[in-house]
Structure 1
Amino acid sequence: MNKIKTLVVAFLLISFASFAQSNDQPLKIGYTNVEYILLQLPESKQIESELKTHSTQLENQLKGKYSEYEAKLQAYERGAPTMDKTIREDKEKELMNMNNSIQEFQRNAQMSLQQKEKTLVDPVIAKIDKAIKDVAKENGFTYVISNQALLAGPEDGDISPLVLKKLGVDPAKAQQTPEPAAAKPAATTPAKSATKSPVKKKN
């Protein structure tokens, strides 16, 4: 949810100076909630599904790498006392490289998940942005702000139902409580971590 909020933060204050009315007409201000509108769209379920699939793939890959690391670490710990120094040092180097690889994968997986989310959400946000601007122009609103920045205002200032109609969604069927449009992706870090030093060199 936090990532979705980050992606829509640019819409906390949306101005439409180009729609300003002439000086003899009153200022007309509307408000809406981009995150709420995003939740109502059919695309939100698709975003949730694709993010979950992508997250699961990354997590399974990471778990596989960690399981391999754990198996090699345990084998090393069992055999280390009787290993030749050269072999032991080679095993230690291999384990350190695997540990570094796991940590790099964790960082890359997080970036991949963020990029995937941005790729999925940005086009929908652009569509919502256009719908808000169209509604503002058609209904004579000079400005439209986020209701998250609104302390008080008339009910008829809420343009969310009009925006939903513009986007082909029946406002009467919209959920009343805003929720995240996409479920929080599964963590890409396994229960354990490979961040600890895998071995202690023996002389």
Structure 2
Amino acid sequence: MNLVKIFRLTLAAALLTAGTLAATSAQAQAPLKIGYTDVQYVLAQMPESKQIESELKTYNDQLAAQLKSKSGEFETKLKAYQQGGPTMTDVVKADKEKELQGLQQSIQEFQRSAEQSLQQKQQTLLKPALDKLQKNIDIVANENGFTYIFNSDGGGSPLLLHAPKDGDISDLVLKKMGITPGAAAPIKSGPVATPAPAAAPAASKTKTKTKK
């Protein structure tokens, strides 16, 4: 699973889905003033982003280590099955095949669970930073008389397709938080992934001899 896509979905769902209403009742009677900001650009420059990146990487590495351990156990037992197969009785062989198939299924379930867990971890880590960002967007919007603020994030489907440069409040928000504006890479972290284990052998049918 691509974490950059998860990150964009998180932003789309959690922040600025339709813009921020930043006017008081008095401002509501005045002509609309619309602004915009690139949420990903601002968030990437916040000091919290490095800590989020570090914690996500640590958590991802922990999940990857567990997955590697499970895959290693499967490969070891598969190799033992392949080497000892010719000398196994039908009953023992069928039992080993069943065990290998169970391990393979467990690995697949762990992979799915790990991806969901990683996404939830990211959402939890991002929330305080997103709340802080939202608060400062509101402050900047009020101070500068903006009625609505939209997200111009270039990733995914931006809410703003065209606007004048003077409507961009991204650097004002960064300065409000005491951050000197500059280019910064978005938060990234590799997904949990290890080479897929070899397929478990299909369960063989145990043959039972009947006495005549």
Q: Same fold (TM over 0.5)?
A: yes
> Hey, what does 2:209 align to over in structure 1?
none
How far residue 142 of structure 1 moved from its aligned partner, in angstroms, is: 0.8
Structure 1: segments with no counterpart, 5+ residues: none
2:19 is paired with a residue of what secondary structure? Answer: strand
Deviation per CA, 1:95-153: give whole Å up to 9, x if none.
12211211111111111111111111122111111111111112211111122433333
Code of the residue aligned with 1:167 in structure 2: it is: M
Of 3, 10, 15 in structure 2, the residue corresponding to residue 7 of structure 1 is: 10
Paired residues for 1:36-185 under 5 Å: 36-147=41-152, 148-171=158-181, 174-175=182-183, 179-180=185-186, 182-185=187-190
C-alpha distance in structure 1 between counterparts of 2:90 and 2:168, whole Å: 74
The percentage of aligned residue pairs carrying the same residue is: 48
Deviation per CA, 1:48-88: give whole Å up to 9, x if none.
11111111111111111111111111111111111122222
Q: Which has the higher helix share?
A: 1
* TM-score, normalised by the number of residues in structure 1: 0.87
CA contact (8 A) 1:73 1:95 kept: yes
- Residues 17 and 169 of structure 1: CA distance in aligned 2, closer, same or farther (over 3 Å): closer
CA contact (8 A) 2:33 2:147 kept: yes
Deviation per CA, 1:147-199: give whole Å up to 9, x if none.
2433333322111111112222122xx21xx632x21323x2322335x3434
CA contact (8 A) 2:21 2:149 kept: yes
Structure 2: segments with no counterpart, 5+ residues: 153-157, 207-212
Code of the residue aligned with 1:69 in structure 2: it is: F
* TM-score, normalised by the number of residues in structure 2: 0.83
The answer as to 2:24 corresponding to 1:19 is yes
CA contact (8 A) 1:66 1:102 kept: yes
CA contact (8 A) 1:7 1:122 kept: no
Task: Give the total of aligned pairs.
Answer: 195
C-alpha distance in structure 2 between counterparts of 1:28 and 1:184, whole Å: 37
2:85 is paired with a residue of what secondary structure? Answer: helix
CA RMSD between the two structures: 2.0
- Residues 170 and 87 of structure 1: CA distance in aligned 2, closer, same or farther (over 3 Å): same
C-alpha distance in structure 1 between counterparts of 2:48 and 2:170, whole Å: 17
